[in-house]
Amino acid sequence: MKHYNIVTIFPQMFDAPFKQGVISKAIEAGIVAVNAIDLRVYAEDKHRTTDDYQYGGGVGLVMKPEPIVRAVRAIRERSETHVVMLDPRGEKFTQRTAERLSGYESLTFICGRYEGVDERVRELVVDEAISLGDFILTGGEFAAMTMIDAVARLIPGVLGDDTSMDEESFSLTSAAGVANTLEYPHYTRPPEYEGLKVPELLLSGRHADIVKWRAAQALEQTRKYRPELLDATQLDDASRKEIYQATATPKGKELKLAVALMHYPMQDKQGTLVTTSITNMDLHDISRSAATYGAKRYFVVTPLQAQREIAQKVISHWTEGFGAGYNSNRKEAFTRTELCDSILYAMQECEKLWGEKPLLVATTARTERATVSAASLGKIAESRPVLLLFGTGWGFRKEVFDVVDYVLEPILGASDFNHLSVRSAVAILLDRLTQNIG
Ligand SMILES: C[S@@+](CC[C@H](N)C(=O)[O-])C[C@H]1O[C@@H](n2cnc3c(N)ncnc32)[C@H](O)[C@@H]1O
């Protein structure tokens, strides 16, 4: 039998909560015992004083150390017990704490009141301090009741059906496929209520599909309401692996998006109009980013035919030549890459692909030019094609900003340095546009 002792000045408070429901049945069955101990019994003066004014001044009373220490020692004389101080400064109570505490044969909860408990109690008899959460209660009794309820229901035999715990929210052995998630939604009769229907699958009797649906729902609810539960830091290695595998599906959204890397009309350091050179790395890396984020086309724009010819050799090597057989991933990345002499050509290609003219969106490193956020542009690109223009050299000439439909907000890092390579900028902005942010 598990013993749960509570040291309190209000022992009667514990009569009602454990007289009904599942825990009361476990008490009747002799699986757990809840024993509220009147602290006043351990006060030695004739007024049974358990509190006093605090040293150092200030309003509010403090619970005296002697009665509490005596009460705990009296319990320990009878049997070993793990002593928990209910204290807002303690470790925050979670399902993990409940699981851990359920391993003790005997727990003793010390309930503070007023301003709290004389600090020396903690040093003398307390094993650990636990808080119910970041709020202040009038006394530890409410916290103790909650914790006893959460702990006792984990004891085998307390809940009728042991396996029902596996699927619950926060469980680490979740039958929903992933540990530490919220639970999937539940429905009961009637099948339709005030126009709202129970999901048809649940009425179908297709058990295997229902299990899959519930697993997906559990993950979805968790991502939506408590994404931090999926945070790796909260989990052990096995659960982390499980979650990683269950969530390792593409998370971005497919957009009507094409990218153009412009080598003209650019400016140099002095602001002079120039045509920049194509670089091998921009060909490879932006093709790979475009493929990863589902950008349908990557146009490399330069009016210089000689440059296009050299670059075409590189692309052909990977799409048709030796490279195609050597590395088929690279071939796949390059299938969307095309060299062209003007942005007009790129726009026409987009129009052919999506049946309407694309919105022209320039990118910049300068905040004052920006007219659209990544979140808004991501939304726009769900329904309208967007051709995203990236610059080279020292950036676009001013005229470009005057003719485009939008200028996308720049990437700002954690410092004043703002000189990303265009390859990095493409990857980061494609990530921002395709993720479900905003
Ligand atoms: C009014 S509170 C004292 C609050 C304290 N002066 C402070 O500011 O942290 C009285 C008692 O209620 C209990 N208590 C209050 N909030 C609690 C919480 N979030 N978790 C656990 N116990 C709590 C503790 O036993 C505490 O000693």
Mean pLDDT of the chain: 91
Q: Is domain 257-434 in CATH 3.40.1280.10, yes or no?
A: yes
Question: What are the pocket residues of ligand 1 if the criterion is a CB atom closer than 6 Å to any ligand atom?
Answer: 86-88, 111-113, 115-117, 131-133, 135-140, 143
Task: Give residue 338's pLDDT.
Answer: 97
414 versus 212: the higher-pLDDT residue is: 414
Protein residue with its CA nearest to atom 15 in ligand 1: 137
Task: Give residue 173's pLDDT.
Answer: 64
Q: What is the mean pLDDT of residues 402-423?
A: 93
Question: Does 257-434 match 2-152 at the fold level?
Answer: yes
Task: Give residue 175's pLDDT.
Answer: 46
Asked whether the predicted pLDDT for residue 209 surpasses 90, the reply is no
Protein residue with its CA nearest to atom 13 in ligand 1: 140
For residue 151, the CA-to-ligand 1 centroid distance in Å is 20
Asked whether the predicted pLDDT for residue 186 surpasses 60, the reply is yes
pLDDT for 225-259, tens place per residue? 887 887 755 666 766 676 666 655 566 788 999 99
For the chain, the domains span 2-152, 162-247, 257-434
Task: Give residue 251's pLDDT.
Answer: 64
Task: Give residue 438's pLDDT.
Answer: 38
Asked whether the predicted pLDDT for residue 308 surpasses 90, the reply is yes
Protein residue with its CA nearest to atom 12 in ligand 1: 139
Closest CA to 71 of 39, 116, 33: 39
Task: Give residue 245's pLDDT.
Answer: 67
Q: Which CATH number fits domain 2-152: 3.40.1050.10, 3.40.190.10, 3.90.180.10, 3.40.1280.10?
A: 3.40.1280.10
C-beta of residue 378 within 8 angstroms of C-beta of residue 437 = yes
Question: To which CATH superfamily is domain 162-247 assigned?
Answer: tRNA(m1g37)methyltransferase, domain 2 (1.10.1270.20)
Distances (CA, A) of 131 to 62, 98, 134, 395: 18, 12, 8, 55
213 versus 312: the higher-pLDDT residue is: 312
Phi–psi pair at 83, nearest 5 degrees: -100, 125
Task: Give residue 240's pLDDT.
Answer: 64
Q: What is the mean pLDDT of residues 322-349?
A: 92
Q: What is the mean pLDDT of residues 143-157?
A: 96
Q: What is the mean pLDDT of residues 354-370?
A: 94
Asked whether the predicted pLDDT for residue 105 surpasses 90, the reply is yes
Cβ-based neighbours of 432, under 8 Å, separated by 6 or more? 374, 375, 378
For residue 131, the CA-to-ligand 1 centroid distance in Å is 8
pTM exceeds 0.75: no
Protein residue with its CA nearest to atom 26 in ligand 1: 112
Question: Which ligand 1 atom lies nearest to the CA of residue 130?
Answer: 21
One DSSP character per residue, 358-383 reads PEEEEE-S-GGG--B-HHHHHHHHHH
**Which of 87, 117, 147 to probe ligand 1 with, by most ligand atoms within 8 A of CB?**
87
Q: What is the mean pLDDT of residues 4-16?
A: 97
Q: Which residue has the tokens 């485009």?
A: 404
Percent of the chain scoring above 70 in pLDDT: 92
For residue 138, the CA-to-ligand 1 centroid distance in Å is 7
pLDDT for 198-208, tens place per residue? 999 999 999 98
Protein residue with its CA nearest to atom 9 in ligand 1: 88
